[in-house]
Amino acid sequence: MNGRVVAGFVPLVDCAVLVVARELGFAAREDIRLDLLKEPSWASLRDHLNLGYVDCAHALAPLPIASALGVGHVRVDCAVPLVLGRGGNAITVARHLFDDMCAAAGAPLRAEPRSTGNALAKVVRQRRAPLTLGMVFPFSTHNFDLRYWLAAAGVHPDQDVRLVAIPPPLMVESLRAGHIDGFCVGEPWNSLAVSEGIGRIVATKSQLLPHGVEKVLAAPPALVGDAATLGALLRALAAAAAWADDRANSAALARMLAAPEYLDVPAELIQDALLGRLALGDGERLDDPDFLYFGRHGGGAPRAEEALWLYAQMVRWGHLPASEASRRTATRVFRPDLYRTHLGAPPAAVVPEPFDGVPFDPENVDAYLQGLTIHTPFVAAPRMENG
Amino acid sequence: VSPKPLRVLIIDKNAVRAAILEEGLRDSSAGGPPLVVNRILHEPLDLVQRIAEIDPDVILIDLENPSRDTLEQMFQVSRLAKRPIAMFVDRSDSATVQAAIDAGVSAYVVDGLRRERVKSILDVTISRFRAFDRLQRELSEAKSALEDRKVVEQAKTILMKQKRIDEEQAYALLRRAAMNQNRKIADLARSLIAAAMLLDAEEPE
């Protein structure tokens, strides 16, 4: 690749590792010229990645798995040698819905997934018209986070509510206009809804899936096959992640990301997300240093069981039928071996307790799926007619 | 029995380009099976509802449009009777796919549509997107040519005044200097105007 790497990214706080690697010379130090291509949508990023217009990309964790399985698009064997971000999402509901939820619960609610989920379930059962909730993309952690929260409270995401994908910059406006009643999105969009007084954060991803994988580096076969370039890129990104994780750098990082060529939003909102100090509404404030992070706690290393978790979500929500072959393909997308080769062995991962109380056994995904009452069966789409 | 009209929806923030595409699609379908074309120009917050109302068989959307993610989700919902898929899923004609991306457009097509019908719509779309691009380029070139002519006129006037020569001589002087310095006449003219302004500012009359 002649030392030049073009990476696609979507302007979100967790594109930080790529931005830092470029802006602070971590890539240059490894003799890599890292050029970043800002993408207007996840669909566009996926097209450019799958058709070879970029060398790698900042991707939603389920996206390379969907590509490897040929779901929703052409089949491309992308590998994930590095995790670029963990956590960072939250679920926000409209003020009027939050009031209804508190009334249903019979008590003021705090941002805590179990109690707010149960309150939402009561509201859903009382209402005649279904609620509409926003997320960002079918193959997104946001979609799965939201569904996980709903289903744990007994709300069927495909029967009891309506889910729509909305570009993050339009999320707050859609909530204000009443087109949606809530959403699951990354920062700074939850904070923006709270600061404008139209939304209330009711759960964070760090509560639903602590340390949960969020964005990954998706590497197509050409990059994986070029060990020298991949190694240099991974070293540069790991160094950038260490810098970005240092809380002492949060102000500088927030300013860097706030620039028009990246996020183009106020630096203060970005810094709140980096420090895990979100205003949740009603004076409540999150204080969780691990709300969003990049590489610490060994978080940069992809883990096979996380790929299996994402595969399980795809099967659970009807993206594809369960099969031994698909399960194996999904597992192979996450490549801890590539991480180890270039960056060494990561420290042991923190495996948190599931918030819904249903243990996930990566060795037995089928049994896990069979134990879940709320799920959506796969329906095959008819193929295009030849003629 | 006349065939059911094919519903095409164009989603493009660029109204001129959308109009050019609509015209192209209508021209190409003249005498053929009927075509109903709808356009969505801005980024509506109720896009999902609008699409459900229009109920299109083919959606043509510019690649830069963030609403593509909304479409992708709509089409993953398996209860939809009509379920369009991204054109890339059927990669039988990779040259068309490549050409569409290069032209900056993406398509979603309801399954079951006849392939040659889709192909002809895509071909028209790609050629109209390209034509629009060319038009934009020509416009910006024409604009800069006009600018160039203006600065050369201005530089000639300065030379005529300072050196007391006629227009033809002034132009010859400019052209020779540009050739010697291996620069465009307009660029040299801009430098000359800038220098003249500087000299005027330093020597008030």
Each residue of A121-149: pLDDT tens digit?
Answer: 999 999 989 999 999 999 999 999 999 99
Helix (H) or strand (E) holding B62: strand B58-62
CA gap A88, A86 in Å, rounded: 7
- Does the CB of A221 have a partner CB in chain B at under 8 Å? no
Q: pLDDT-derived band of residue A370, with 50, 70 and 90 as boundaries?
A: very high
Task: Give me chain A's average pLDDT, please.
Answer: 94
Chain B 56-95, residues with CB within 8 Å of chain A CB atoms: 63-74, 76-79, 83, 85-86, 88-91
Tell me the chain A residues in contact with residue B89 when contact means C-beta distances shorter than 8 Å.
72-74
Mind listing the pLDDT tens digit of every residue in chain B (205 residues)?
Answer: 556 788 999 999 889 899 999 999 998 888 777 888 999 887 777 888 888 888 888 899 998 898 899 888 887 765 455 666 776 666 667 788 788 888 889 888 877 777 778 888 888 998 999 888 888 888 888 888 889 999 999 999 999 999 999 999 999 999 999 999 989 999 999 999 988 888 876 554 4
Q: Say which of A53, A170, A386 has its CB closest to residue B115.
A: A386
Q: Find the distance separating the first CA and the last CA of chain B, reported in whole Å.
A: 86
What ranges make up the beta strands (E) of A51-209?
Answer: 56-60, 79-87, 89-94, 132-135, 162-165, 182-186, 199-204
Tell me the chain A residues in contact with residue B86 when contact means C-beta distances shorter than 8 Å.
43, 72-73
Helix (H) or strand (E) holding B84: strand B84-86
> Which among A370, A334, A368 is positioned nearest to A354, based on CA atoms?
A368
Contact between A180 and A166 under an 8 Å Cβ cutoff? The reply is yes
Q: What is the ipTM of this complex?
A: 0.85
For residue A124, report the phi and psi dihedrals to the nearest 5 degrees: -60, -40
Contact A137 B73 (CB under 8 A): yes
Chain A 30-89, residues with CB within 8 Å of chain B CB atoms: 40-44, 47-48, 50-51, 53, 72-74
**Average pLDDT for A284-297:** 95
Lookup: tokens for A305: 């069981």
**Percent with pLDDT over 90 in chain A:** 87
Query: Locate tokens 């400019």: which residue?
Result: B174
Q: Please give the residue of chain B at the shortest CA–CA distance from A41.
A: B66
Helix (H) or strand (E) holding B35: strand B35-40
- Does the CB of A387 have a partner CB in chain B at under 8 Å? yes
Tell me which of A252 and B74 has the higher pLDDT.
A252
For residue A230, report the phi and psi dihedrals to the nearest 5 degrees: -60, -45
Angle at A15 between CA A10 and CA A16, to 5 degrees: 150
The total number of residues written for chain B in this structure: 205
Task: Give the amino acid at A351.
Answer: V
3-state SS class at A284: strand
- Does the CB of A177 have a partner CB in chain B at under 8 Å? yes
pLDDT 10s digits, A19-52? 999 999 999 999 999 999 999 999 999 989 988 8
Q: Is A384's pLDDT higher than 70?
A: no
CA gap B195, B54 in Å, rounded: 61
Query: How many Cβ atoms from other residues are within 10 Å of residue B169's Cβ?
Result: 14
Per-residue model confidence (pLDDT) at position B156: 95
- Does the CB of B164 have a partner CB in chain A at under 8 Å? no
Tell me the chain B residues in contact with residue A137 when contact means C-beta distances shorter than 8 Å.
69, 72-73
Tell me the chain B residues in contact with residue A42 when contact means C-beta distances shorter than 8 Å.
69, 72
Per-residue model confidence (pLDDT) at position B52: 83
Tell me which of A68 and B118 has the higher pLDDT.
A68
Contact between A257 and A23 under an 8 Å Cβ cutoff? The reply is no
CA B105 remoteness from chain centre: 11
Chain A 286-345, residues with CB within 8 Å of chain B CB atoms: 318-319
Residue B83's alpha-carbon distances to A212, A381, A383, B113, in angstroms, are 32, 7, 10, 11
Our CA dihedral for A135, A136, A141, A145, rounded to 10 degrees, sits at -10
Q: Is A385's pLDDT higher than 70?
A: no
Tell me which of B186 and A348 has the higher pLDDT.
B186
Q: How far is B19 from chain A (nearest CA, A)?
A: 23
- Does the CB of A381 have a partner CB in chain B at under 8 Å? yes
Is the model's pTM score more than 0.90? Answer: no
Per-residue model confidence (pLDDT) at position A261: 95
Q: How far is A379 from chain B (nearest CA, A)?
A: 6
Tell me which of A64 and B121 has the higher pLDDT.
A64
Q: How far is B81 from chain A (nearest CA, A)?
A: 10
**Percent with pLDDT over 70 in chain A:** 98
- Beta bridge partners of residue A59, listed in sequence order: A216
**Average pLDDT for A305-326:** 95
Contact A138 B46 (CB under 8 A): no
Q: How far is A187 from chain B (nearest CA, A)?
A: 18
Lookup: tokens for A266: 């106020």
Contact A384 B97 (CB under 8 A): no
Strands B105-110 and B84-86: antiparallel
> Which among A2, A8, A12, A373 is positioned nearest to A189, based on CA atoms?
A12
Helices (H), chain B: 15-29, 47-54, 68-76, 94-103, 115-163, 167-181, 185-202
Contact B89 A319 (CB under 8 A): no
Contact B112 A382 (CB under 8 A): yes
Residue B166's alpha-carbon distances to A110, B153, B154, B195, in angstroms, are 84, 13, 14, 21
Contacts of B78 (CB under 8 A, 6+ apart): A318, A376, A378, A379, A381
Query: How many Cβ atoms from other residues are within 10 Å of residue B134's Cβ?
Result: 10
